[in-house]
Amino acid sequence: MREEPPVSVWNEFWNKKKDLDKVYPSSPSVLKAILGTCPVKGLKILEVGAGTGRDSLALAMEGAQVYILDYSEESLRIGSELAAKAPGNLHLVQGDAFNSPFPDETFDFVFHQGLAEHFRDPLPLLKENVRLLKKGGFCLCDVPQTFHLYTLIKHILIAFDKWFAGWETEFTMPQLKKLMKNAGLEVVHEYGDWMRPNLIYRILREIGFKFGVELPKYPLQGTAYQRCKDKLLDIVSRCSASSYTQICIGVVGKKVES
C-alpha cells in the first residue's frame, strides 16, 4: 500500500527553510558514494525527492547533466535558486516519483536520500528507479537506520501524532540490501554515517531558533577533539557492525543486465 505525506506537508516544511545556510546538508556520504562509484562528468543523473538539492548542484558543478524530480513546489523553488549556479547542467521537473515523466533507460545514475522511508511499500519506488536506469547504471538509496535515538524519538512523536510527516519507517542494512536486490539491483557498495553535529545538539539548535537564538552550526569544527573523533569514527566505520550504530545508511546498486 502506497502512503505518503500530502504535498502540502512538504510545501510547508520547505517553506520554513528559506535560509539554506541554517539548514544542515544531507549526509556527506551520499555525494562521496556517488563520486566514488564512477566518474560523473557527462553522465545523466536524476535525484528523486531532492529537498534542498545541494548534492545535485555539486554533481552539476562536476560536469554531470542533473535532473531534480520533486512534487513539492517549495522544494523546486529552492532547486531553482541553485540551478542558477550551474546554468545548463541542473534541470527541475515536477512529477511523481512512482510514475516519473521520463522514458525507460534515460539515466546513468538515480539517487535519493530521505525518501524511501516515507512509503509503506518502497519497492515500487525502487523498481521505477530501475526502469529509468540505462543498462549498467547505478541507483543509490539512503535511509534512516533502525537502531538509533532518532528512531526512538521519531516513533514517540508518531504515537502522539506530532511527527511532521505523519509516519516514517527505518531500515537495517540487511533490509535495505534485500530491498535493492528485490528491485533488480546488484549491491556494489554500502555505507553509513553518523550525524555531525549530533542529534541532541541539532534539536537544541532548532529550539534556539524558536526563541531567536542561533547556536553555531558546527560548534567543534576544526578543533583537535573533532579531528580525533572523525579519525576514530573512520576506523569504526570499517567494521560491518558499525551500521547498527549510525543514523543513516545507504546502498549503491547496479542495474542487472537481463
In a domain? residue 169 = yes
Copy the grid coordinates of residue 161.
501524532
69, 46 in Cβ contact below 8 A?
Answer: yes
Alpha carbon distances (Å) from 165 to 119, 155, 161, 207: 11, 12, 9, 19
Give which of 109, 84, 90, 76 is closest to 7, Cα–Cα: 76
Name the range with the highest mean pLDDT among 1-5, 18-22, 252-256.
252-256
How big is the chain by its Cα radius of gyration, in Å? 18
How would DSSP label each residue in 21-82?
GGSPPS-HHHHHHHHHHS--TT-EEEEES-TT-HHHHHHHHTT-EEEEEES-HHHHHHHHHH
pLDDT at residue 2, rounded to an integer: 57
Q: Quick one: average pLDDT of 115-123?
A: 95
In a domain? residue 86 = yes
Task: Grade residue 258 by pLDDT with cuts at 50, 70 and 90.
Answer: low
Please state the φ and ψ torsions of residue 44, each to the nearest 5 degrees.
Answer: -100, 115
Least confident of 67-71, 208-212, 232-236: 232-236
Structural domain that includes position 251: 7-255
In a domain? residue 75 = yes
In a domain? residue 127 = yes
Task: Name 196's Cβ contacts closer than 8 Å, sequence gap at least 6.
Answer: 218
Q: Quick one: average pLDDT of 35-63?
A: 94
In a domain? residue 129 = yes
In a domain? residue 184 = yes
pLDDT in tens, 68-78: 999 989 888 88
CATH of the domain at 32: 3.40.50.150
In a domain? residue 1 = no
Q: Quick one: average pLDDT of 215-237?
A: 89
Q: Quick one: average pLDDT of 46-63?
A: 93
Task: Grade residue 65 by pLDDT with cuts at 50, 70 and 90.
Answer: very high
123, 2 in Cβ contact below 8 A?
Answer: no
pLDDT in tens, 157-184: 999 999 988 999 999 999 999 999 999 9
153, 72 in Cβ contact below 8 A?
Answer: no
Domain count, the chain: 1
Residue 139 and residue 16: Cα distance in Å, rounded? 30
Q: Are strands 185-193 and 248-255 parallel, antiparallel or unpaired?
A: antiparallel
In a domain? residue 2 = no
- Strand segments (E) across the chain: 44-48, 65-70, 90-94, 107-113, 133-144, 185-193, 248-255
Task: Grade residue 31 by pLDDT with cuts at 50, 70 and 90.
Answer: very high
- Secondary element (H or E) of residue 231: helix 224-236
